Amino acid sequence: MSKLMEGKKGIIFGVSNKRGIAYGIAQTLHQHGAQIAFTYANESMASRVTPIAEEMGATIIEECDVTNEDHLTRVFDKVKQEYGQLDFVIHAVAFANREDITGNFSEITREGWDLALGVSAYSFVAVARHARPLLKEGSSLITLSYIGGEKAVPNYNVMGVAKAALEASVRYLASEFGPLGIRVNAISAGPVKTLAAKGIGGFDILLKVNQVRSPMKRNITLDEVGNSTLYFASDLSTAISGEIHHVDCGFHSIALCKEDSELTHLVD
């Protein structure tokens, strides 16, 4: 296997178990030679994340609530001490109260709104700000989005608004960091069976709809998200920035599919 990330050092926020997208990304980057620092959200997550990080030879495994500026400062101080510089940063963090991703969108509270956008969108800006002094020309910032940030998806609700804000942040950060030779991109992944996805109402239906409507007639895998992230983290994508890259078997490109056109019973 070619070692596209040999000698490169980075940090990933958001790994929580072996069934998540963040894990698939970390595994792919590790397999290609990257040295990765890991964070976990709180003490209760330490026992889950630490074994994963240790399996990948991590020398930095730190607690980091991405909404806590002191945590971010401490983590990046540790990275500076251990690594000196960073080649990539992966932001795979999102959260909303369960009641705010079910029911009517208009019923969300201000507190729920602020929480979802703070954790899922603003945290990427905060991470980028703290990482900036350690990033060098050719470095890459990558976050994770979803089609719900572009179009309404049942039960995604405020998380869709958060992803829209996240994608806009990618463009503004790309504009700001571009003159420094630093790239900023997002991977918009299709639905995958993860523990986090179970919190979205009707997720099994989303999986089936994506499979039927996407041009490739299937759902994606964690490996496919990992491979796409590898492209953006490696030197293969040195001229790509401000991009929202869809890894969804083409689902985002479809308005109607053949199966829709066959619903003749809906036509008088």
Question: Catalytic: 146?
Answer: yes
Residues 6+ apart with CB under 8 A from 202: 154, 155
23, 40, 156, 172: which one is catalytic?
Answer: 156
Chain centroid offset of residue 27 CA: 14
CA distances from 47 to 22, 39, 61, 175, 247 (A): 17, 12, 11, 38, 31
23, 83, 146, 231: which one is catalytic?
Answer: 146
Question: Catalytic: 40?
Answer: no
Distance of alpha carbon 111 from alpha carbon 244, whole angstroms:
28
DSSP string, 26-67: HHHHHHTT-EEEEEESSHHHHHHHHHHHHHTT-S-EEE--TT
Which active-site residues does the annotation give?
146, 156
